[in-house]
Chain A
């Protein structure tokens, strides 16, 4: 039993419905990553790097 296996079993309905639900879930996760997680992570990973600044 794995996490994705459990997710597949929790989803209701026939196979085609589960596939659609999984795609919708995946799209929501990608949206959250693009909108909040990545900009936040990038600001930490790459501080301002286009300016000249004193040491």
Chain B
């Protein structure tokens, strides 16, 4: 039985298959496969850009920023600085005008209006190495002022994709806080207004925005991102003015102390 079976099956199996078998590659078949594959890759690219590159990057960037913030906090505690200092005037803010190397992280931005975990690391330069980085995300325009300095502290970030550090920039409302932390302390800016400009409008970066010839007296922060969402035709600009400052020894501003404490956890 075991001997006769293969002998019987052989010709029965082979004969109907033979006419279907074709040698060589069918050009039309391969072309069809290539087109299908290209379509799938393009769909995957969209999925990557709109979902993966946004959600995953946002998580990575915010935990990197939280880590940097709590690192400064630990250094402060290790230095033996006291706990909460009663609310008071701290005088002129410390302004660190040290020139930073490109892509060097030197501050953390946190805007409660941008939502939970919206904290981002601010690094020097606005190249792809900063803006598309998995741990940075917000770039400081070289040549613009430092946090707290009289003039314009100008920064840029993505609106969508690459962590979308300024995704909700158009949701800002008058008086919203924009917190900037450096190793020296916390700078609290208050959002003032939005502006929509063409991509060439570099005047928004001037110490007095749109008035490059004027001498600044205010301490301004300028956020730039792209507009409309998912487009690159325009830029959306958000301006804020420094409201208060507190040194690192005083810890985070009271309104966000709990949030900031949770970053170290």
Contacts and interface: CB of A to CB of B under 8 A. Distances in A.
Interface of A: 1-5, 30, 33-34, 38-39, 41-43, 46-55
Contact of A52 (B132, B158, B166, B199): B199
Given A2-B25, A50-B159, A43 B128 contact: yes
B235 A52 contact: yes
A39 to B, nearest CB: 7
Contact of A54 (B25, B26, B131, B202): B202
Contacts of B82: none
Contact of B48 (A34, A43, A46, A47): A34
Given A1-B25, A33-B44, A52 B224 contact: yes
Q: Of residues B24, B126, B161, which shows the largest number of chain A Cβ atoms within 10 Å of its Cβ?
A: B126
B44 A53 contact: no
A53 B226 CA distance: 12
If over half of B's interface residues share one DSSP class (helix, strand or loop), that class is named, otherwise mixed; here it is mixed
Most chain B CB within 10 A, of A49, A52, A54, is at A52
Given A2-B25, A3-B30, A55-B200, A50 B235 contact: yes
Contacts of B23: 1
A4 to B, nearest CB: 6
A1 B22 contact: yes
B30 A52 contact: no
A41 B156 contact: no
Interface centre among A2, A5, A51 (most CB of B within 10 A): A51
B200 A52 contact: yes
B33 interface: yes
B215 interface: no
Given A1-B24, A2-B26, A52 B45 contact: no
Given A1-B22, A1-B24, A4-B33, A52 B202 contact: yes
Nearest to A1: B25
B232 A49 contact: yes
B51 to A, nearest CB: 11
Contact of B157 (A2, A38, A50): A50
B139 interface: yes
B232 A46 contact: yes
A38 B200 CA distance: 28
B48 A33 contact: yes
A33 B131 contact: no
Contacts of B199: 49, 51-53
Interface in B8-35: 22-26, 29-30, 32-33
A33 B48 CA distance: 9
Interface in B180-215: 197, 199-202, 204-205
A6 to B, nearest CB: 8
A48 B30 contact: no
Given A33-B44, A46-B232, A51 B132 contact: no
A2 B226 CA distance: 44
